[in-house]
Amino acid sequence: MEYRLLGKTGLKVSRLCFGTLTMGPLQANLSLEEGASLLVEAFSAGINFWDTAESYHNYPYLRLALKKIGSMPIIASRTYASNAAEAEASLEKARVELDLEVIPIFMLHEQESALTLEGHRPALEYLCAARERGLIQAVGISCHTVAAVKAAILFPELDLIHPLINYRGIGIKDGSAAEMLAAIETAYKYGLGIYGMKVLGGGHLNASAKEAISFALELECLHALAIGMASLDELTANLCYMQGKDPSEDTVARLSQTKRRLKIEDWCTGCGYCVEACPQGALVVEHSLGRVVLRENCCILCGYCGAACPEMCLKIF
Ligand code: SF4
Ligand code: SF4
């Protein structure tokens, strides 16, 4: 496993970051034991960087895995807080539920532009103060937009960014892969730590995973790349791709049978909360049906809609 210093944070992370959304209740919904064991396996293979978020509702997996390994990987979490009180509550929730004194990386979730960052300034100021107090080591933002990456360099208090990048630009809300890459390269020159998300386009690039991972690996400006995993086969395959190798035929065959998709349950009421939560415009309320419908070609399987549904209608399988 290759390791890189994450910008100026002083944190040395494995190039492959374990994206944990996929194992939790919004997606594969693994048992606590299964999810924690997978993280332990990943840690044994050298993956010391785990990505989560408050909205993923999966801290218990990480907590159990931490107990099992008795060691400290670099954990990144994030919050939708927009003010100091919400940021404090989110950080405390992470510290309590993960049973950690210090959260290595804490970020503002899904920032869109300089305007949204400005709007979240009270939360950002709280996180920076928490960094001063030693409760967080590095503060950052996650984003699906080129505009937010460009905005990040205007906020010198930020240590890192977690932008969406893949070779086809799937999921980038306001530009192409080339435009996102140009913005990321500028942020890299400013010294920000950078770890990419959705390298496999939320599953749309699974068929060309080797090429997609190789594209991301060759980007000097990406200190690490987060890939969501929910099975030993996915972990094994991604570890192979990180080395430019092919996984075994058996592994490939099993993975090809597990194509993921978003399922909308029959009891959807058409309330539309998920429509507002979807960053891709992939959900639309179909009034004639009284429910929401999916534009499959827009969906990047990010799972954000699941947390917004009061009826638990949305699951990725
Ligand atoms: S429909 Fe749900 S999973 Fe798909 S892009 Fe929108 S929020 Fe993400
Ligand atoms: S939030 Fe849930 S119930 Fe409401 S429209 Fe979306 S899927 Fe249906």
- Render pLDDT for 155-166 as a digit per residue (tens, 0 to 9): 999 999 999 999
pLDDT average, residue stretch 80-90: 97
Q: What architecture is the 3-256 domain classified under in CATH?
A: Alpha-Beta Barrel (3.20)
Contact of 58 with 35, CB cutoff 8 Å: yes
Distance 164 CA to ligand 1 centre (A): 14
Distance 173 CA to ligand 1 centre (A): 13
Q: Which residues line ligand 2 (CB under 6 A)?
A: 264, 268-274, 291-292, 308-309, 311, 313-314
State whether the Cα torsion 210-214-217-219 is positive or negative: negative
* C-alpha–C-alpha distance, residues 201 and 177, integer Å: 11
Distance 168 CA to ligand 1 centre (A): 18
pLDDT at 43: 98
pLDDT at 168: 85
Q: What is the pLDDT of residues 198-252, one digit of tens each?
A: 898 777 677 788 999 999 999 999 999 999 999 999 999 999 999 989 999 999 8
Residue 55 beta carbon below 6 angstroms from any ligand 1 atom: no
Domain boundaries, the chain: 3-256, 262-316
What's the CATH code, domain 262-316? 3.30.70.20
CA neighbor of 203 nearest in space, from 236, 175, 174, 230: 230
Q: Model pTM?
A: 0.86
Beta bridge partners of 148: none
Mention every residue, 6+ apart, whose C-beta is less than 8 A from residue 168: 177, 201, 204, 205
Residue that is written with structure tokens 């950002």 in the block: 124
Q: Which two tokens stand for residue 119?
A: 């709007």
Q: Which atom of ligand 1 is closest in space to residue 301's alpha carbon? A: 3
CA neighbor of 39 nearest in space, from 9, 14, 2, 10: 14
Q: What is the pLDDT of residues 253-290, one digit of tens each?
A: 888 777 778 888 888 999 999 999 898 899 999 999 99
**Averaged confidence pLDDT in the chain:** 93
Helix (H) or strand (E) holding 108: strand 103-111
Distance 287 CA to ligand 2 centre (A): 12
Q: What is the pLDDT of residues 4-56, one digit of tens each?
A: 999 999 999 999 999 999 899 888 889 999 999 999 999 999 999 999 999 99
* C-alpha–C-alpha distance, residues 246 and 1, integer Å: 16
Q: In 10 A of CB 269, how many CB atoms?
A: 14
State whether the Cα torsion 299-83-157-118 is positive or negative: positive
